[in-house]
Structure 1
Amino acid sequence: MIASYTRNVNMFWNKKHNPYINFFVSIGAGLNQIPLIREAKKHGFHVIGVDTNPLAPGFMHCDLKIQESIENHEDIYKKLIETLFDGRIAGVMTKSYGIAIRSTAFLAERFNVPYMPLSRSEYFINKKLMKDLFLQNNIRTPEIFALPSKNRIEKIEKKKFPIIKKPVIGHAKVGIHFLKNAADLKKHWPETQEKEKVLFEKFINGDEIIAAGIVHKRRFHLVDITDKETTELPHFVDIMHMSPSRYYHLFDEIAGIGQSVADAFNIANSPLIMEFVLDDDGRPCLIEAVPEFGGEFLTDVVIPARTGYNFIGEAIKANTDTGFKPPLRKKARNAVVVKYITGTSGTLLSFNPDGPKKMRNVIFSRIFKEIGAEVNRPETNLDRLGVIITRDKNPETALAAAEQASESMQIRIKK
């Protein structure tokens, strides 16, 4: 892929006023990266955006763009070296997932930005490696099963079910199956070539929560906990997040788990998002963790709106060593609800994006699909149609406002 560069002439050539430039690299320049790019600009960095799409919307906010796949970290590195004739890389971050984490770790090592070792990045991409590291470090996590041969499925104890089948590498709840008995397991038994690509996990029928924090100089700082709701089984589509969590009494325990994760993965400076399920005893079991900002609008919308803490801004300060301020534990000022809009299968005929904007409690809304798009009943997070985020005095009134705002979008689907 050929690199494409866009320079601000004054920035690069007026060295009388800019003798040395601090660059910040954003791995990815899509729509979801824009909050990270804008925040880095606000903190005085000159942002280099990397994306394979020449029309990536985040590029318009960058000082320099490199058109390259975020998977090609060696090529990105070479192009960055060619570019850095009058500055240095002060920070490297991503608001994406998977391979973007590997590229971020690779570049951070090359430019001496404390993040985490490249070797550890694979443990966040491969869920089996992640689970193994959890267990090695005594981090509670749902049990993983080593299954017998297919002709011995009937001998599996009934109490082992239900089981979750999930891909070792994946996101957005794609490829996840709920197996309630041996017959379901036979139906979803992996082919020989697939066995290393899936894992089987004990299903825990408990409430789910998300914990968001920042690791700074190897110390984990828990910022907030949110409750999560999903669609009914057999799918696990995220349809709602609520803050503050009903489980704030677990704050110290979850903060301790976050520190254990930071230690196990040798994280120096990074955001850290953790997904938990509560077991029968009300104890948090860690499903997975990611060293980036996560999705679901939690770090860029929910946390700032509810707590006043600039999560992305402080994570950038931690990454660039420019005056990070840890969060303060405060009483809840208000409640914030993230409600995802779902629908039936068919063709999206129309919607009214301006409906929610007229409501005082709505702080964010977005439709993910275009008119004429084929849409589906929610089986993965990619099937969601849009999102509404509301804020009010308590969770009940914030939820009511979200329901009303959702109706105001007037979404029509032709079956």
Structure 2
Amino acid sequence: MLRLFKKKSSDFFVSIGSGINQIPLIKEAKKAGFQVIGVDINPTAPGFYHCDLKIQESIEDYHNIYVKLRELLIDGKISSIMTKSYGHAIVTTSFLCEKFGIPFLPFEDSKVFLNKKAMRNAYLNLGIKIPDNIPITSKTKVDALKDSIFPIVSKPATGHAKNNVQLLNNKLELKNFIENKNAEDYVFERFVAGDEIICCGQIHSARFYPILLSDKVKTPAPFFVDIMHITPSKYKYLLDEITSIGNKIAREFKIQSAPMIMEFIVTEKDELYMMEAVPEFGGEFIPDIMVPHSTGYNHLLGAIQSSAFYEFKANMQKLENSPVVIKYITSENGILSSCSIEAIRKNESVIFYRIFTDIGARVYSPSNNHHRIGVIVTKGKSIEEAIAAAQNAEQQMNIKIKTEEENETKLGTTL
């Protein structure tokens, strides 16, 4: 069990971001006894409700945030600065941690994690397997390429989630891609067949500690949108190798204290190919919902204690966790016309649920993670039982999608 530390009332925790997904981290900081300073550009950010002080500022503008924090702290000390967001929020957190002497990631290295080309070089230098690079530019003569290099996966050189990640199966698709987009802004990799897994962990004193391993289910090609996360992972026997990779990254980037998410492809021969490693909690409801309900371990509090007190107690469960499934709700193109949560509120197998889309809103067949319309998290005595519970809960929600033509016909009838 993680112990709470008593702090002076002048000890502050800074939350970079105050949106809905940041609230679990803010609440843990409050429970640990900190006064919380929330930062967000949105004056009505829902996390502000739980904060003692707020700074209305873009989370990317670390210089102005630093100035305003200095102005606020006439009497007080910032003990921890964290974010549950990603991308530029990590850069801002790194800058501020360096300014206030809080262990995290060196600022000079923080932007490297936003650049897939730079990270590919880092992985190669560390001896970490990654998919082969396919050198493609806007001047590439596609017809001269060998058919054997296909399929190719295109990824933005900078970016997050599954935005604009696409499978290109042949020369024609690649040619159309280059004609419509700037190839220099993308990374092109050889497609590696296999299952995807996510390792959620914590870096403390430049050492990586695994907390949870989960298997990922995606939509078919070409977009690979995450639609389910399952734990325990069927690949937990690879944990020692995964931990070794995490330690290499922690040492290479001189990370003293940070959550870490690593995503891999596992081939039929049990080869691990790194897809991404970032010093963040990760999304997908893994750190704040799946981890505690599956392992009993409080990942958010553990990270706060590592950052604020430089004390950390590793998860002693050794990943012998209970079955938990995160299932995302997706649809075809249309209008969300019906969705009810009343039926699942008393469902004991349902741990958590959230609908992202309002009734009457346009919905899309998923080409990226932002097109998912909701999420259900369930538990069970077995993985199969947890999956069945999630499927049953989705049916109970009575989700109906109307085509735009059906919706227009209804509007016309009403008028």
**TM-score after normalising by structure 2:** 0.93
Q: Which residue of 1 aligns with 2:382?
A: 394
3-state secondary structure, aligned to 1:174:
coil
Q: Are positions 1:144 and 2:144 aligned together?
A: no
Partner residue of 2:234 out of 246, 249, 255: 246
Output the CA distance in 2 between the equivalents of 1:331 and 1:134.
26
**Paired AA for residue 347 in structure 2:** M
Q: Which residue of 2 aligns with 1:9?
A: none
Structure 1 residue 128 displacement after superposition:
1.2
Q: Which residue of 1 aligns with 2:22?
A: 33
Q: Deviations over 1:141-186 (max 9, x none)?
A: 1122222664632222222211111111112211111011112111
Q: Deviations over 1:360-408 (max 9, x none)?
A: 1100000001112111011110010100000111100000000000111
Q: Which runs of 5+ in 1 are unaligned?
A: 1-17
Q: Are positions 1:170 and 2:159 aligned together?
A: yes
Structure 1 residue 279 displacement after superposition:
2.8
Does the CA-based 8 Å contact 1:150-1:186 persist in structure 2? Answer: no
Q: Which residue of 1 aligns with 2:74?
A: 85
Q: Which residue of 1 aligns with 2:146?
A: 157
Q: How large is the Cα RMSD of the aligned pairs?
A: 1.6
**Paired AA for residue 41 in structure 2:** T
Partner residue of 2:195 out of 207, 211, 215: 207
3-state secondary structure, aligned to 2:342:
coil
Output the CA distance in 1 between the equivalents of 2:8 and 2:141.
70
Does the CA-based 8 Å contact 1:124-1:290 persist in structure 2? Answer: yes
Output the CA distance in 2 between the equivalents of 1:234 and 1:381.
13
The 1:190/1:146 distance shift into structure 2, 3 A limit, reads: farther
Partner residue of 1:375 out of 346, 354, 363: 363
Aligned length: 397
Output the CA distance in 2 between the equivalents of 1:121 and 1:302.
27
Partner residue of 1:407 out of 395, 399, 403: 395
The 1:34/1:148 distance shift into structure 2, 3 A limit, reads: closer
Does the CA-based 8 Å contact 1:73-1:106 persist in structure 2? Answer: yes
**Paired AA for residue 150 in structure 2:** F
Q: Are positions 1:220 and 2:208 aligned together?
A: yes
Output the CA distance in 2 between the equivalents of 1:355 and 1:337.
19
Does the CA-based 8 Å contact 2:137-2:183 persist in structure 1? Answer: no
3-state secondary structure, aligned to 2:178:
coil
Structure 1 residue 322 displacement after superposition:
5.3
Structure 1 residue 347 displacement after superposition:
1.2
Q: Deviations over 1:246-300 (max 9, x none)?
A: 0000011101011111112221100000110113421111101111111100110
- Of all paired residues, the percent bearing the same amino acid is 47
Q: Spell out the pairing of 1:317-328 with structure 2 (5 A cutoff).
A: 317-321=305-309, 323-328=311-316
Structure 1 residue 196 displacement after superposition:
3.2
3-state secondary structure, aligned to 2:337:
strand
Q: Are positions 1:347 and 2:335 aligned together?
A: yes
Bigger Cα displacement from structure 2, 89-98 vs 171-180: 171-180
Q: Which residue of 2 aligns with 1:11?
A: none
Q: Which residue of 1 aligns with 2:4?
A: none
The 1:322/1:258 distance shift into structure 2, 3 A limit, reads: closer
Q: Which residue of 1 aligns with 2:288?
A: 300
**Paired AA for residue 76 in structure 2:** G
Partner residue of 1:127 out of 110, 116, 120: 116
Q: Which residue of 2 aligns with 1:57?
A: 46
Q: Deviations over 1:95-154 (max 9, x none)?
A: 111110110001011101110111111111111111111112111111222226646322
Does the CA-based 8 Å contact 2:95-2:107 persist in structure 1? Answer: yes
Bigger Cα displacement from structure 2, 249-258 vs 121-130: 121-130
Does the CA-based 8 Å contact 1:22-1:87 persist in structure 2? Answer: yes
Output the CA distance in 2 between the equivalents of 1:40 and 1:378.
35
Deviating beyond 6 angstroms after TM superposition, the runs of 4 or more aligned structure 1 residues are none
